[in-house]
Amino acid sequence: MKRVISLIVCLLLLTQNALASKSAVLIEAGTGQVLNEQNAHDRLPPASVTKVMTMLLIMEAIDSGKIGMDDLVTCSEYAATMGGSQVYLEAGEQMPVSEMLKAIAVASANDACVAMAEHLCGTEEAFVKQMNERAAALGMKNTTFCNTNGLPDPNHLTTAYDIALMSKELLKHEKILPYLGIWTDSLRNGAFGLANTNKLIRFYKGANGIKTGSTAEAGFCLSASAIRNGMQLIAVVLGAPTSKERFAEATELLDYGFANFEIADGVDTTQVLANVPVLKGVSAEVALLPQTSFSPLLPKGKKDAVTQVTEIPKSVLAPIEAGQELGQVRFLLDDQEIGCVPLVAAETVQKLGMGESFLRICRAWVVAKQEK
């Protein structure tokens, strides 16, 4: 399927004008498929788009139960000295995690980033180490973080493609979405107003994030996301000459994606796609679930041409372990496979013991005799 998409992308790109931004990429969030790009792997300063990773680590800490939204975070003297975009935290001032997260997502607060880093890891340096470790785990091969907020540093570099990867991961955390979609809000019981610098949130249909950034060194940067008809796209632009151009070029990329691609019906890990008889097991059958979720990304107009073929055995022999692969569902487009998802056992089925086997034989004999 990637060959089909790549060919279509190449043909469509022939009609595209070069972007003014130094680097750009458009991906579909579910598959990670690149739909459009320009110098997507060039290492460049990301400015405050860095905070996508900062927010990701915060959300992972929240979702794991390490911290809670109501936990109070104390601003250190060091965090209060960050400068740049900030919410003017004072040393010793406390805010709940939820407010710190709002300050980062909406106001791009450098001071809140450091305060959260210290709250989670003790020092900003330890948090930055985690940022780089998480980047490596996500496959961000050309990224080096030196701070939590994107303030200028000659070694603080990433790529449009790497930013798309961490943006894709951040969007998996549903609790962050309301913050990314805020247009205006406030902190300190309404005393401090907030306004989102991501204009697409207000003016682009389906926009739901993510983060702007700008410095003299980085130019104007943006990781923009939008969802329409079940398809989530992420457009990243780095080094745009002006703020107006970064939004225009992100819009151009998103428009391109929504105009040329669509998502077909797929499967998710909660769907029972089949029940298979179990021989010599304590249960008579076992349910099969998709091992991973999958929804095919297709050129526009091909959605109804996709077929699903489920391949499973007539029966399986106990014992069966939960998660054991027992079949597959194949996705076909014009008789060509575009995806394949393993089907796995939903639960463990133990092998039937001798005693239970004897009892079942006796019960069957009694039932058969009664039926006569």
For the segment 194-243, what is each residue's pLDDT rounded down to a tens digit?
999 999 999 999 999 999 999 999 999 999 999 999 999 999 999 999 99
> Where do the H-state alpha helices sit in 66-151?
97-107, 110-121, 124-137
HSE value, Cβ hemisphere, 13 Å, CA-based, for 282: 12
- Looking only at the bridges linking them, the beta strands covering 72-74 and 94-96 are antiparallel
Query: What mean pLDDT do residues 182-198 have?
Result: 96
pLDDT per residue over 61-101, tens digit each?
A: 999 999 999 999 999 999 999 999 999 999 999 999 999 99
Cα–Cα distance for residue pair 48/211, rounded to 1 Å: 7
167 - beta bridge partners?
none
Question: At 110, which amino acid appears?
Answer: N
Q: What is the pLDDT at residue 360?
A: 56
Please write the tens of the pLDDT for every residue from 28-39: 999 999 999 999
> What percent of the chain has pLDDT above 70?
90
pLDDT at 357 over 60: no
Q: What is the 3-state secondary structure (H, E, C) of 316-364?
A: EECCECCCCEEEEEEEEECCEEEEEEEEEECCCECECCHHHHHHHHHHH
Please say if the pLDDT value at position 261 is more than 90: yes
DSSP string, 166-230: HHHHHTT-GGGHHHHT-SEEEETTTTEEEE-S-THHHHSTTEEEEEEEEETTTEEEEEEEEEETT
Maximum distance among all Cα pairs of the chain, rounded to whole angstroms: 92
pLDDT of residue 3: 45
Alpha-carbon span 68 to 259, nearest angstrom: 40
- Residue 212 in tokens: 């702007």
Rounded Cα distance between 194 and 171, Å, is 22
Using pLDDT thresholds of 50, 70 and 90, give the confidence band for residue 352: confident
Instruction: Please report the domains of the chain, with CATH numbers, ordered by start residue.
Output: 19-261 (3.40.710.10), 274-354 (2.60.410.10)
Burial class from Cβ neighbours inside 10 Å (0-12, 13-18, 19+) for residue 267 reads: buried
Contact 163, 48 (CB under 8 A): no
> Band of the pLDDT at 353, cuts 50, 70, 90?
confident
Active site members:
48, 51, 108
Is residue 128 over pLDDT 60?
yes
Q: What average pLDDT does this structure show over 186-199?
A: 96
**Residue 268: pLDDT above 90?**
yes
